[in-house]
Amino acid sequence: MRSRAILAAGGVLALTVALGACSENKNTDSDVDTDRVSSGAIATDPADSKGPAKPVDGAAKGGTFTVIRQTKISHMDPQRVYSFVGLNTAPLYARFLTTWKDDGKGNVTLVGDLAETPGVNVNKDCKVWEFKIKDGVKFEDGSAITSKEVAYGIARSFDPDLAGGPTYIQEWLANDAAFDTKWDFKANKTSLPPGLTTPDAKTLRFEFAKAHCDLPFAASLPATAPLPPAKDTGVELDNKPFSSGPYKLVKNTVGVEMLFERNEHWDANTDPVRNAYPDKFVYKFGPNAEAQTNRLIADGAEDQATLGWNGVDSSLVAKVAGDAGLMARTLREPTPSAWRLSINTQRVPDLSVRQALNYAIDRPGMVKAAGGDLKVAALTTLMPPSTLGFKKYDAYPTDIEKAKSTLAGKTPELVLVIGDDSGAQELGTQVKNNLEKAGFKITIKVIPADSKLDETKKKDNPWDLYLDSWAADWPSGAALLPVLFDGRTIKAEGNSNTSFVNNDAINAEFDRVLALDPAAQAPEWAKLDERIMKELAPAVPLYADVMFVMQGSKVGGVYIDSIFGYPAFTRAFVKQ
């Protein structure tokens, strides 16, 4: 699981920083459906996992689709992919065990990608899982993809040389967070990690020591992409992956340009989600968000089939929002990246103080400070609306008088720590002014933005309040609530539970829900979300990021995916 703020080092924060300079763009109607509720499940009908993908209205084959982005993609090796751009680019050149059917509006179904179904829970105890590989799935050289190549892909993710990717499956197989000490990939290249077997060429079997009902979700990450052992070039694979998807990477000028062309051996009839309309995909790296937006506004001949990955630049938001013609070429959807004001409950043990903080927060003011409602959408729950089973509630409707009465004359002195970047400073000042109206005394402590995350993750950190964010790897409460609020996981440093709550009743509830069948979990997480806020108030939910990107006039079919909240290209096409 992944803290969004960590990725900030790579650009998310830069976006927020830039936004800080521009908070007056309020005159636009927001048509982002911030209350949209996700619905979704794991496909039970094997027909859902069959290809071909449903055709997109008005789409035609052909053309070159271009993506422009400021910086290169950190990893292309499917076993190492974990950045948002990597996660949404990998489906072009790799297939996974499972994948999401996604309408871009929050309605998702987990289906089999290489597998015929999204997994069989053999003994209904989530400890033994089986996947059957489809017939007719092939690599870029025409060789067949079997369970052996999928297993090899998972095995190589144990190699510490190939760090960077998700580690769920490795940890579950090894039953240890230090999975690479339990099984040494380099010394055992011809065997498989403990618990992973291939009874025959079609079957892949996982046997875990503990129940892991989230396996079908975890298997949707690119780390389950297959690889023939003979094609494993180790670290070099990062710049020249071996394709199992509809496109192959034919030219990669690292940091400058990547060119994908069709993989002729990919069979649309095996693929439930990829339409693969364009003949080519080109990624061009270099231009910043401002240059990208300017180019797309100009819509010159070479940019008409282009999408600007880094979003509408904050300096141009007003211009784009004020022009219906330009707005028609934007995509705007809430993302799963949820921001909250974490309260360090070790230092603020008084529940009434934490509740008063919740009553006091002025969300419209926070939204404005964070760039306006074109960039963020207010949130009163711990889980963002994109979570399966999400139920909207507001445990502490904003009310300064209520905050004061909850404090009952106390004037708690709290320390808010923020990073030294301009966006954070603006948000910090907003929080301070806001909370002081309710009687709090807030001291802002500024520390280097680079180290803020590491510092706040230390158990003995000397601060009371900090802005945190979280983007789950799949839209289940299981990927959010226990990670952020299970007190039994608290260690000296590197905590995701930055509120440091540890409540036995809540912890027991985590265990109970995690053991349920995945389909039954969703409503339980929503209930638990509300219960945590009411009983513990460990944080003040603030807002979820809104993705706001622009594309050229000939782009069609791109959607903001419901899982990560970034542009997705499985249905993209070039208007002819």
Partner 1 sequence: MLRFLIKRLLLGTLTMFAVSLVAFGMFFMLPRDAVATMCVKNCNPERLERVRVELGLKDPLIDQYTGYMKGIFVGRDLGSAQGGFCDAPCLGYSYTSSEEVSDIFARVLPVTLSIVIPAAVLWLGLGIGLGMISALRRGTVFDRLAIGFSLTGASMQLYFVGGMLMIIFVYTLKILPVPHYTSLWDDPLDWASGLVLAWVALAFLFSAVYARLSRAQMLETLAEDFVRTARAKGLTKSRAYGRHALRAAITPIVTIAGLDIGGALGGTVITETTFGIQGLGRTAVEAVRLGDLPTIMATVLVSAVFIVVANIVVDLLYAVIDPRVRLG
Token output for 18: 């830039």
Instruction: Please pick, from the candidates 28, 64, 197, 239, the single residue that binds partner 1 as defined by CB under 8 A.
Output: 239
| CB 367, min distance to partner 1, A | 28
Closest CA to 341 of 440, 441, 427: 427
Q: What are phi and psi of 395, to 5 degrees?
A: -70, -25
**64 binds partner 1, rule: CB under 8 A:** no
| CB 169, min distance to partner 1, A | 12
Tell me the angle at which helices 400-407 and 351-360 cross, rounded to the nearest 10 degrees.
160
Residue span binding partner 1 (CB under 8 A) among the ranges 200-208, 278-286, 319-327, 411-419: 278-286
| CB 308, min distance to partner 1, A | 12
218 alpha-carbon distance from chain centroid: 12
Instruction: Please pick, from the candidates 12, 13, 65, 82, the single residue that binds partner 1 as defined by CB under 8 A.
Output: 82
| CB 288, min distance to partner 1, A | 7
The verdict on whether omega for the bond into residue 52 sits within 30 degrees of 0, i.e. cis, is yes
The nearer residue to partner 1, 232 or 529, going by C-beta atoms, is 232
**94 binds partner 1, rule: CB under 8 A:** no
Residue span binding partner 1 (CB under 8 A) among the ranges 196-204, 293-301, 434-442, 544-552: 293-301
Residue span binding partner 1 (CB under 8 A) among the ranges 174-182, 211-219, 331-339, 480-488: 174-182
Q: How many CA atoms lie within 13 A of 29 on its CB side?
A: 3
Residue span binding partner 1 (CB under 8 A) among the ranges 88-96, 252-260, 408-416, 510-518: 252-260
Instruction: Please pick, from the candidates 167, 275, 434, 499, the single residue that binds partner 1 as defined by CB under 8 A.
Output: 167
**158 binds partner 1, rule: CB under 8 A:** no
Residue span binding partner 1 (CB under 8 A) among the ranges 72-80, 224-232, 388-396, 543-551: 72-80
Closest CA to 541 of 363, 353, 387, 415: 363
**291 binds partner 1, rule: CB under 8 A:** yes
| CB 255, min distance to partner 1, A | 5
Q: How many CA atoms lie within 13 A of 30 on its CB side?
A: 21
Q: How many CA atoms lie within 13 A of 276 on its CB side?
A: 27
200 alpha-carbon distance from chain centroid: 34
Contact 224, 155 (CB under 8 A): no
Residue span binding partner 1 (CB under 8 A) among the ranges 37-45, 229-237, 522-530, 546-554: 229-237
The nearer residue to partner 1, 189 or 441, going by C-beta atoms, is 189
| CB 105, min distance to partner 1, A | 28
Instruction: Please pick, from the candidates 201, 209, 235, 515, the single residue that binds partner 1 as defined by CB under 8 A.
Output: 235
What character string, x for contact with partner 1 (CB under 8 A) and - otherwise, covers 179-218?
-xx----x--------------------------------
Torsion region of 338: left, alpha or beta (phi above 0 gives left; psi -120 to 50 gives alpha): beta
Please give the Cα distance from 166 to 178 (Å, whole number): 13
Contact 328, 88 (CB under 8 A): no
Which amino acid is residue 30, in one-letter code?
S
**288 binds partner 1, rule: CB under 8 A:** yes
231 three-class SS: helix
What character string, x for contact with partner 1 (CB under 8 A) and - otherwise, covers 447-486?
-x-xx--x--------------------------------
| CB 300, min distance to partner 1, A | 5
Closest CA to 432 of 357, 322, 367: 357
What character string, x for contact with partner 1 (CB under 8 A) and - otherwise, covers 121-150?
------------------------------
Residues touching partner 1: how many (CB under 8 A)? 52
Could you say which DSSP state residue 439 is in? T
**286 binds partner 1, rule: CB under 8 A:** yes
Mapped to the 3 state alphabet, what secondary structure does 65-114 carry? EEEEECCCCCCCCHHHCCCHHHHHHHHHHCCCCEEEEECCCCEEEEEECC
Token output for 239: 């710049």
Please give the Cα distance from 225 to 150 (Å, whole number): 6
**526 binds partner 1, rule: CB under 8 A:** no
**21 binds partner 1, rule: CB under 8 A:** no
Could you say which DSSP state residue 360 is in? H
Give one DSSP letter per residue of 255-299, joined into a string: TTEEEEEE-TT--GGG-SS----SSEEEEEE---HHHHHHHHHHT
Partners of 357 in the β-ladder:
none
Which amino acid is residue 469, in one-letter code?
S
**285 binds partner 1, rule: CB under 8 A:** yes
Please give the Cα distance from 54 to 272 (Å, whole number): 8
**75 binds partner 1, rule: CB under 8 A:** yes
Q: What are phi and psi of 430, to 5 degrees?
A: -60, -45
Could you say which DSSP state residue 117 is in? S
| CB 476, min distance to partner 1, A | 18
**325 binds partner 1, rule: CB under 8 A:** no
- The kind and range of the H/E element at 458 are none
**297 binds partner 1, rule: CB under 8 A:** yes
Query: What's the length of the chain?
Result: 576
The nearer residue to partner 1, 245 or 308, going by C-beta atoms, is 308
Q: How many CA atoms lie within 13 A of 480 on its CB side?
A: 32
Residues within window 412-451 making contact with partner 1, judged by CB under 8 A:
448, 450-451
**161 binds partner 1, rule: CB under 8 A:** yes
Instruction: Please pick, from the candidates 160, 199, 322, 325, the single residue that binds partner 1 as defined by CB under 8 A.
Output: 160
The nearer residue to partner 1, 26 or 186, going by C-beta atoms, is 186
Instruction: Please pick, from the candidates 61, 125, 141, 177, the single residue that binds partner 1 as defined by CB under 8 A.
Output: 177
- The residues binding partner 1 (CB under 8 A) are 1-3, 6-7, 9, 71-72, 74-75, 77, 82, 160-161, 163-164, 166-167, 177-178, 180-181, 186, 234-236, 238-239, 253-256, 284-288, 291, 294-295, 297-298, 300-303, 448, 450-451, 454, 493-494
